[in-house]
Structure 1
Amino acid sequence: MAVPDDSALLNSTFSPYNVTAMVNSSSCTDWPPVPMTEIIPSIYSVICVLGIIANTLAVCVLAHASASRRTVANTFMLNLCVSDLLFLLSLPLWAVYYSQGYNWPFGRIACKISGALHNLNLYASIFFITCMSMDRYLALVHPLRSQSARDPRRAKLMCILVWVLACACSAPAVALRDVHYIEVWDVEVCGISFPDHTWYRSMVWMKVLLGFLLPMIIISCCYCAIGRHLLSGSGLIRVQKGSHYGSTFKSSGSQDSCSKPERPPTPCVNTSPRGGRPVEGRGLERVLWTVAAVVLAFFLCWFPFHCVTFIDILMKENLLDSCWADWTIQNLTPLTLCLGFSNSTINPVLYCFIGNHFRGRLGALSKGLCVRLKTREEDHSQKRGSFSTRLSSFSRKLSDLKELAIVEASGHA
């Protein structure tokens, strides 16, 4: 059996026990190792807690949206949050894995499921972000021509296609991942054992190309076109109805209206046949900042990890051999992967909580929940009060009966 070459952390490009051996026997004594068993579990804990809270709130709000709010944007966003949430639920297992010195105590099935959730999220989240970017491009740049294409039913079919494609991309890693006992270090690692170098090369390049480069090119092209479109209209942009990703988008149930600042008055430009809400002044600036934040978050979260992966490819092909490259692969791979995982926490913040519509629906949902809880408490209090009243009445009647019995007994006497 080939030595697992990808067993350290989910789907990273090194194995933890080889890291320890390489660090201890390495001639690069000036490059101290990073204490992964202490740092990684702490980072994972923060990402897990914040990510689960944010994505759970997002799923609750999006899943309880009314029929008029079930737009293409919300459909992609809901699936993205579900993908992130499924992965984040498996993150505590990997935190324990690191804290125990790369020892996997949860068994073979848990190893495969956790690895499958990671790989599925790696591809599905990026594919959904790409779909959302393309939908935003169509809604802003081609609002008239894209009306028939931007249909919620078609969006659901696209989501099914994304899940199938993500499962297909994850299948090889899931099939090869297993628990391997390493006698030298007395640990059971949850990792991938590649049959040969061709398998390793193919899977790594698929991860780099399909999981980063191609989506990044599509996203960048979409937002560059959006930026040119927004800046070319003298700050007066009409957004198609029902395509809200934030406070600058209006739902499909809105009436035709035009928002104008008090001073100076600004004319409205309507390029939508059914009306919508223009983006003016600070609204335009908000859209541009949101666009920049989406692209930067995607790039900053995943670019470092794929850079380290590319360095590892060069070393495996004997095109690079140096202490800094060796140290980078051994120590920065898990850290950059943590940065990539943080994108699961950032996603609901960028796409949901920035928007006034989402915050309003979250507030309404919370208010409704509080009202229901208060109503239950009042009902419970009323029932308890009614029971207390009946008990008091019964006690008074019982007391009256006792007094009556005493009076009758005295009369007989």
Structure 2
Amino acid sequence: MLNSSQWAEMSSGSENCNFTDIDRLAWKVQLGISIPTFILGLVLNSLALSVFCCFWRKQTKTSVYMINLALADVLLLLSLPPKLYYSITRVPGLLCPFIQAPYFVNTYTSIFIIVCITVDRYICIRHPFEGRANQSPKWAVLICCFIWAAAWICSSPIYVFHRKESIKCFHNLSEQTWSVPFIVSVEIFGFLIPLAVMVFCSAQTIWILWNCKTHNKGDVEESGSLRVIIINLVVFLVCFTPVHLGIFLQCLVKQQVIVGCRMKQSISLFLQVSMTCANINCCLDAIFYYFAAKEFRKKTHLRRVAEVCPVFNPCAMRWDCQQWESAACQDTDTATPDTAGTVP
């Protein structure tokens, strides 16, 4: 039998559950990961923006996607210092939406542009003639504009449902923001659908290239193109799956489905750390997309780095399938056999 004090402690679990030590530990982890991510990400994405905007000889669908992806990553990285500072500093609740929204908007903008690049690559390989005939950047511009607009519109609940009292941002979202319909929409449209598209397009692309390499008796395991596609998919899964799992679990906490104090503390720590780890994708975008383009390396002084550094060398994608050689998309993020020569 439980005595009265034990029963009172169990019945008021959430009120007596203290998150001070958890938040302090999470902030130290965030600081250790965010500082190198911020510096490296800004360098790589700023370099990518300068190359694609100033030196790319002709704007294509791929260059439009890459410019927008780099811009979203830069804006996300610039939102990290305010995120770190205001997550430990109490400010008026009305100010928090203007700090929180840019972070979430640029995160999901980055996700959807990555999906667009993956779909574009798949179309170019699966339907090379149609892909080559539809390389006008106009559609890419419209799609990117739609993504940016949709991301900002979908962030409106953060502005509408905000706390009025003084709070720490990113820790005290309103109960309406954690409502089941809103979180389910975020999980389905912000992650599960993009993930399904990524898995389908990447699997189809890998299957086509595998058959091409096998038919030509090439070494599949040594194929740079296959490695980039596989690594890109793995990075997407590793970066964005934990944070959306954390959002789902935190929603269960807010809906009082999970009531144990120890479990609540673990979920809070997991969500904060997974959000920080997801930001590493900003650096990996630059490595696995921008350095994979032969045209990018031709327009910069990084060719020797790419030759010497084994991190960048596998990203030099070369298509050995004869059909892809004869009718490839121009200036894609994978390879440009018609316009770019072999990198020495």
TM-score (norm 1): 0.63
Q: Secondary structure at the match of 2:107?
A: helix
Are the aligned partners of 2:83 and 2:100 in contact in 1 as well (CA < 8 Å)?
Answer: no
- Higher relative contact order by CA 8 Å / sep ≥ 6: 1 or 2? 2
**Aligned mates of 2:176, 2:133 — CA distance in 1:** 48
The superposition leaves residues 105-130 of structure 1 with CA deviations (integer Å, 9 ceiling, x where unpaired) of 9x955x43332211211221111011
1:96 and 2:96 are equivalent in the alignment: no
The match for 2:195 is 216
Deviation for aligned residue 1:150:
3.4
- 1:76 paired with 2:71, answer no
Amino acid at match of 1:103: R
AA at the equivalent of 1:39: V
Which amino acid in the other structure matches residue 151 of structure 1? S
Question: Counterparts of 2:302 and 2:283 in 1: how far apart (Å)?
Answer: 23
Cα distance in 1 between the residues matched to 2:186 and 2:164 = 22
Coordinate RMSD, CA, aligned: 3.3
> Aligned partners of 1:84, 1:361: CA distance in 2, in Å?
21
Instruction: Give unpaired runs (5+ residues) of structure 2.
Output: 1-12, 304-344
Q: What SS does structure 2 have at the residue aligned with 1:363?
A: coil
Partner of 1:57: 47
Counterpart position of 2:314: none
C-alpha distance in 1 between matches for 2:254 and 2:98? 28
Once the two structures are superposed, the pairs formed by residues 12-411 of structure 1 within 5 Å of their partners are: 22-23=17-18, 35-68=25-58, 70-98=59-87, 101-104=88-91, 108-109=94-95, 111-177=96-162, 180-181=165-166, 189=169, 193-194=173-174, 196=176, 200-235=179-214, 281=219, 285-322=223-260, 325-363=263-301
Identity of aligned residues (%): 23
2:212 aligned counterpart, secondary structure: coil
**Residues 321, 108 of structure 1: CA spacing in aligned structure 2 closer, same or farther, 3 A cutoff?**
closer
SS class of match (2:166): strand
Q: Name the SS for the 1:150 alignment partner.
A: coil
Change (3 A) 1:21 1:132: farther
Instruction: Tell me if structure 1 keeps the 8 A contact 2:243–2:278.
Output: yes
Tell me if structure 2 keeps the 8 A contact 1:61–1:361.
yes
Partner deviation per Cα, 1:124-180 (whole Å, 9 max, x = no partner): 111101111110000111111233333211111111111122122222223334663
Q: Quick check: 2:175–2:254 contact (8 Å CA) kept in 1?
A: no
Q: Which runs of 5 or more structure 1 residues have no equivalent in the other structure?
A: 1-17, 26-30, 183-187, 238-265, 267-279, 366-413
8 Å CA contact 2:124–2:130 kept in 1: the answer is: no
Query: Are the equivalent residues in 2 in contact too, given 1:135–1:150 (CA < 8 A)?
Result: no
Cα–Cα, structure 1 residues 359 and 227, in superposed 2: closer, same or farther, change >3 Å?
A: same
| Structure 2 SS opposite 1:194 | coil
Q: Which amino acid aligns with 1:225?
A: Q
CA distance in 1, matches of 2:221, 2:298: 18
Please say if residues 56 and 299 of structure 2, whose CA atoms lie closer than 8 Å, have aligned partners that are also in contact: no
CA contact (8 A) 1:311 1:329 kept: yes
Name the amino acid aligned to 2:70.
Answer: C
CA distance in structure 1 between the partners assigned to 2:265 and 2:31 by the alignment: 20
CA gap 1:148/1:321 in 2 versus in 1, 3 angstroms: same
**1:171-217, CA deviations, whole angstroms, 9 ceiling, x for partnerless residues?**
222333466315xxxxx5466653648x6222212221122111000
**Count of residue correspondences:** 292
From the superposition, tell whether residues 189 and 134 of structure 1 become closer, same or farther in structure 2 (CA, over 3 Å): closer
Aligned AA for 1:64? C
